Structure 1
Amino acid sequence: MTRMTAPELLDLVVDAGTWESWDTPPIQVAADTEYADELLRAQEKTGLDEAVLTGVATIRGRRTAILVCEFGFLGGSIGVAAGERLVAAIRRATRERLPLLALPTSGGTRMQEGTTAFLQMVKITAAVIKHKEAHLPYLVYLRSPTTGGVFASWGSLGHVTIAEPGALVGFLGPRVFEALYESPFPAGVQTAENLHAHGLIDAVRPPDQLAEIVDRALRIITSSRACRSPLAETPVHASLPDVPAWDSVVASRREDRPGVREVMFHSASDVLPLNGTGQGEVDPGLILALVRFGDMPCVLLGQDRRGQTTRSPLGPGALREARRGMRLAAELNLPLVTVIDTAGAALSKEAEEGGLAGEIARCIADMVSLDVPTISLLLGQGTGGGALALIPADRVLAAQHGWLSPLPPEGASAILHHDIAHAPDMAARQGIRSSDLLASGIVDEVIPEFPDAADESTAFCTRVGAVLHRELSVLDAADTTQRLSDRAERFDRIGLLQPAHA
């Protein structure tokens, strides 16, 4: 792999002529004669004074603070001087409320400085955390190689993390492993592609695509929203046809019914897909993305009806990925939209041992306590704990043929009647259809289908996007304290309300 130098990468990514260095001469560190000579040779070889450059530039017109390593300078290793430079830049970015892009390539800690260099990773991490606590974006592009303490600290904390194709990325460098254990590290493990397959990074993209990805991410995260009066956004409730609950169940299971992917494709103005839990799991049953509906940005968690199969139902990994999305929403101060469309969470030994029940509970707890605006959309099937995990929100919307039930009607029939023949009756008795949910105060608005979303996919998805844009606008303008109080009260009163038609 041909490795780009730090200046070459900057020339590729930032707008021409906009780079402004923030670097001051590196602080003096204790160095014996041998180390001092190494530093001098590294400076002469690279034309740089340390292994990191910091500064600010525009990327597609967006002013962005940047940290970039130079592997040619002692393997991009981080010592006290490099650590101090990084921390100073991160803190300045926080003060100036700038998004931060990190471009590491490093063997990790600078061995010549030992433990004092090792502990720089704590200081750098603390500065990154303060930046994120200020609700400012932190984007990471892992280059080859990125290993050791750099990967195990500021290289693994991005809101969005991309890696260079074929990049060697891992905790323990393969040369160190071989020396310690007298055998080579297993091939194919410490690669960008393998990390992506295991949900540890969001994408693998070449350097010439990085500017576009950064632009898209910041367009979603940092774009200002138009101010509007919530009073002007009051929805018009259309009268709903009296469709039997079982008809909605059947409609929700049609193979050609549009799901979350179609909603994003037809109605979102920007989408940046993310990947996995960041902790070694990917579940195809859930989509996590940064999305804009019109001018309204959000973090979107969508149960993907096409990613869930009888062989691979929604598992605990999907809920851990959902919780990553909830944390992202909180850290970036973005609204959260959840899309519910599941035949039910996995019922298996692996799901039980993987902590499915606990993850459902933790999702509910996170949803209840999130400070940011939240919307849940019941798009299709809403079965069991997998649906319950994503339902507690400020606003709950439902497609006309969306439904919500503790079990599929067949399961409820099996419990009460010891057969599944009574499933249509159970669907009616349990009040699972959208009109029943609206009457009982569980749902705030039903999005009509004419007569079935599968028969008007594009129009339906556009309609859903318009409602999401409107509701995001209303919630964005609402008083936070009142909104959180209203959220708590809505679940307190469920089951205590008189039917709307009484």
Structure 2
Amino acid sequence: MASTTSRRLTATALLNIVLDEDSFRSWDAPAEQPPAGIKYSAELEAARDKSGHDEAVLTGEGRIRGRRVAVIVSEFTFLAGSIGRAAAQRITEAIERATAEGLPLLAGPASGGTRMQEGTLAFLSMVAITDAVRRHKEKGLPYLVYLRHPTTGGVMASWGSLGHMTVAEPGALLGFLGPRVYETLYDRPFPEGVQTAENLYRCGLIDAVVPPEDLPDIIDRALRILLPTQPAGNLAVPASVDAVPGTRDAWESIGISRHPRRPDLRWLLAAGADDALPLNGTGQGENDPGLGLALARFGTQSCIVLGHQRPRHGGREMGPGSLREARRGMQLAEELQLPLLTVIDTAGADLSPEAEEGGLAGEIARSLNSLIGLAAPSVAVLLGQGSGGGALALLPADRVLAAENAWLSPLPPEGASAIVYRDAAHAPQLAAEQGVNVASLHRIGLVDHIVPEEPEAAEDPRGFCADLAVAIEYELSVAAAVPSGERRHRRAAKFATLGL
């Protein structure tokens, strides 16, 4: 990882680092500036001389590891990368061309924001740029953003903050308010360390901090997942499709699911996925460690993955911020027209005053609402523990896949026993009576596919994850094969008729 001290790259230097050699082709026509006074005309002339370019952005196309990609890159030496009407028109036209040609788009802003010399009309141009980005994303085309030093103002508040995946240059100053403006308005410096790429990552506002030389690899990996070139074809049916529920009773399975070495979501992505690119946070200032979000590929099947992460070092279970991050994943699946994979493995949602004040119950409700109405194909994996509303919040899906010793219950059996019997001693009895194990869930029609644990997952985590990954690839293909016009109806009908 590079030093956190940012070096300001020119647009040309960035393009030379990111794009394949000699692959850049400019889309820029000569910039047509609006009528300008003597002072502004002189500033534009000086900016052209200083930067060697006729505007604050360069647009065009190139190749990254052989794949065509459209690019929009700011040139900060041209009036601090500010966006006037000519620059805005250039950006908008480039986005529209990328959309028309079906190209993924990489934006590399470095800008002080709207060009003050052009006033309100330049300010309003952010609306047209945002609309062009929206229409690009509506076509299911990736929009990836690399925030460079510095990016502030109207650029950060429009096309700089709309990426499906957003990464930033180490040490970059990023924020809405420029520090100089703040100091002038309030006669004191802005607090240090707030508007840095590293702090935005900690706050869940960006997905990673990446030096320019690592950007080609990150973009290549993201696009291989988001725009797979390998056709799915007819997948072989895995042997686990015909697996029948095991003979262990519910309480035994619950004990197995709680084994500290049982593979979790991190294990699944590391040992089961062909590639996985983690995302970070809600993009809205929250980063709850109770949920993992990633772009991933299992064999021929690409997907958005979101799932519970088992707490480490005494951390909390899933809180309301986790579910807001989950809804980011659901939105990505919709926009990118990719299947959604949810992974359920939780001892229960966070039970704390902070969770209550953060609206946990409402977030569970909104997650259920989003999943049952999702336009994208979906697969849910019961990986281990499945307790309470925290598990239910990620459950509604077209297909449900379960590890043999997974379970699903309104409360941990000990909690249910406390309610019914006022003690924990009846937990094994209640687990059996409530039908929490996979055999019962399969019998009522919830679980479609069982992955055996022979041996138990904790004894061979890598082998188990490999078997589960094969089943995931197959189930993603089954879910994606359902006609889009029937998907929601079939999903709703499944959950409306459980046990009948």
TM-score bracket, shorter-length normalisation: over 0.9
Cα 1:173–1:201, aligned 2, differ >3 Å: closer, same or farther? Answer: same
| Distance in 2 between residues matched to 1:190 and 1:482, nearest whole Å | 46
- Equivalent residue number for residue 284 of structure 1: 289
Shift of 1:133: 0.7
SS across alignment from 2:241: coil
**Which of 383, 391, 395 is matched with 1:391 structurally?**
395
1:489 paired to 2:487: no
Greater alpha carbon shift after TM alignment, 441-450 vs 177-186? 441-450
Whether 2:113 is the aligned partner of 1:113: answer no
Letter aligned with residue 189 of structure 2:
P
- TM-score (ref. length: structure 1): 0.97
Q: Which amino acid aligns with 1:239?
A: V
CA distance in 1, matches of 2:76, 2:400: 50
Which residue in the other structure is 2:381 paired with?
A: 377
Q: What is residue 174 of structure 1 aligned with on the other side? A: 179
Distance (Å, rounded) in 2 between the aligned partners of 1:229 and 1:211: 32
Which amino acid is 1:446 matched to?
Answer: I
Q: Which residue does the alignment assign to 2:45?
A: 40
Once the two structures are TM-superposed, the CA of residue 27 in structure 1 deviates from its matched residue by 1.8
Tell me, what secondary structure is at the counterpart of 1:201? Answer: coil
- Cα shift at 1:235: 5.7
Do the aligned partners of 1:14 and 1:59 also contact (CA within 8 Å) in 2? yes
2:273 paired residue among 248, 263, 268 = 268
Determine if contact 1:143/1:167 at 8 Å carries over to the other structure. Answer: yes
Q: Which residue of 2 aligns with 1:477?
A: 481
Question: In the TM superposition, what whole-angstrom CA distance separates every residue of 1:287-307 from its partner, at most 9, and x where no partner exists?
Answer: 100000011100000211144
The answer to whether the 8 Å contact 2:245/2:438 transfers is: no
Report 1:419-498 matches (<5 A).
Answer: 419-495=423-499, 497=500
Measured in 2, the distance between the counterparts of 1:230 and 1:256 equals 31
Amino acid at match of 1:341: D
Deviation at 1:227, TM superposition (A): 4.2
Contact 1:70-1:105 at 8 Å conserved across structures: yes
Are the equivalent residues in 1 in contact too, given 2:198–2:209 (CA < 8 A)?
Answer: yes
| CA distance in 1: counterparts of 2:330 and 2:459, whole angstroms | 33
Q: Which residue of 2 aligns with 1:20?
A: 25
The aligned residue for residue 500 of structure 1 is none
Q: Which residue of 1 aligns with 2:81?
A: 76
Structure 1 position 232, deviation (Å): 5.8
- Which residue identity lines up with residue 125 of structure 1 in the other structure? T
Alpha-carbon offset, residue 30 of structure 1: 2.0
Normalised to the residue count of structure 2, the TM-score between the two structures is 0.97
Partner Cα separation in structure 1 for residue 319 and residue 76 of structure 2: 40
1:333 counterpart = 2:337 = yes
**Is 2:248 aligned against 1:253?**
no
How big is each residue's C-alpha offset from its partner over 1:225-252, in whole Å with a ceiling of 9 and x where there is no partner?
5243479679632233310111111111
- Is 2:185 aligned against 1:162? no
- Per the TM alignment, residue 481 of structure 1 is displaced from its structure 2 partner at its CA by 2.4
Contact 2:232 2:301 in 1 (8 A): no
Mapped contact 2:310–2:317 kept (Cα < 8 A): no
Alignment of 1:396-411 (within 5 A): 396-411=400-415
CA distance in 1, matches of 2:230, 2:344: 26
Superposition RMSD in Å: 1.3
Q: Separation in 2 of the partners of 1:395 and 1:373? A: 9
Which residue does the alignment assign to 2:227?
222
Q: Give the Cα–Cα distance (whole angstroms) in 1 for the partners of residues 338 and 156 of structure 2.
A: 27
After superposition, the C-alpha distances for 1:43-69 in whole angstroms (9 at most, x for unaligned) are 011110000000000011110000000
CA deviations 1:136-169 (Å, max 9, x no partner) are: 0000000000000000110000000000000000
Of 342, 347, 357, the match for 1:343: 347
1:140 match? 145
CA distance in 2, matches of 1:488, 1:230: 26
Partner of 2:13: 8
Q: How far apart are the structure 2 equivalents of 1:84 and 1:462?
A: 49
**1: CA distance, partners of 2:141 / 2:82:** 26
Q: Distance in 2 between matches of 1:378 and 1:219?
A: 27
Report deviation, 1:83.
0.3
Residue identity in the other structure for 1:28: Q
SS in 1 for 2:343: strand
Q: Distance in 1 between matches of 2:138 and 2:382?
A: 31
Does residue 209 in structure 1 map to residue 218 in structure 2? no
**CA distance in structure 1 between the partners assigned to 2:409 and 2:221 by the alignment:** 38
Deviation track 1:433-485 (CA, whole Å, cap 9, x = no partner) reads: 01110011111111110141101111110000000011112222332223332
The answer to whether the aligner puts 1:100 opposite 2:105 as a matched pair is yes
Following TM superposition, by how much is the alpha carbon of 1:76 offset from its aligned partner in structure 2, in angstroms?
0.2
Question: Partners of 2:423 and 2:413 in 1: how far apart?
Answer: 11
CA contact (8 A) 1:394 1:487 kept: yes
Please state whether the residue corresponding to 2:229 is helix, strand or coil.
coil
Change (3 A) 1:233 1:419: closer
Superimposed CA distance per residue, residues 113-145 of structure 1 (whole angstroms, 9 cap, x where no aligned partner): 111111111110010000011110000000000
Paired with 2:238 and 2:262, the residues of 1 have a C-alpha distance of 28
Q: What is the distance in 2 between the residues matched to 1:42 and 1:277? A: 38
Q: Conserved in 2, the CA contact under 8 Å of 1:228 and 1:473?
A: no
Contact 2:88 2:126 in 1 (8 A): yes
Q: What one-letter code is carried by the residue in structure 2 that aligns with 1:467?
A: A
Map Cα deviations across residues 238-292 of structure 1 (whole Å, 9 max, x no partner).
Answer: 2333101111111111100000111111111111100000000011111100000
- The structure-2 alpha-carbon separation of the partners of 1:271 and 1:230, relative to structure 1 and needing over 3 Å to count, comes to closer
Letter in 2 for 1:324: R
Task: Tell me which moved more, 240-249 or 367-376.
Answer: 240-249
Q: Is the 8 A contact 1:230 1:474 kept in 2?
A: no
Q: What pairs with 1:302-313 in structure 2 (closer than 5 Å)?
A: 302-307=307-312, 311-313=315-317
Q: What percent identity do the matched residue pairs reach? A: 58
What amino acid does structure 2 have at the position aligned with 1:490?
K
CA distance in 1, matches of 2:289, 2:246: 34
Q: Which amino acid aligns with 2:408?
A: L
Aligned to 1:56: 61
2:61 partner SS: strand
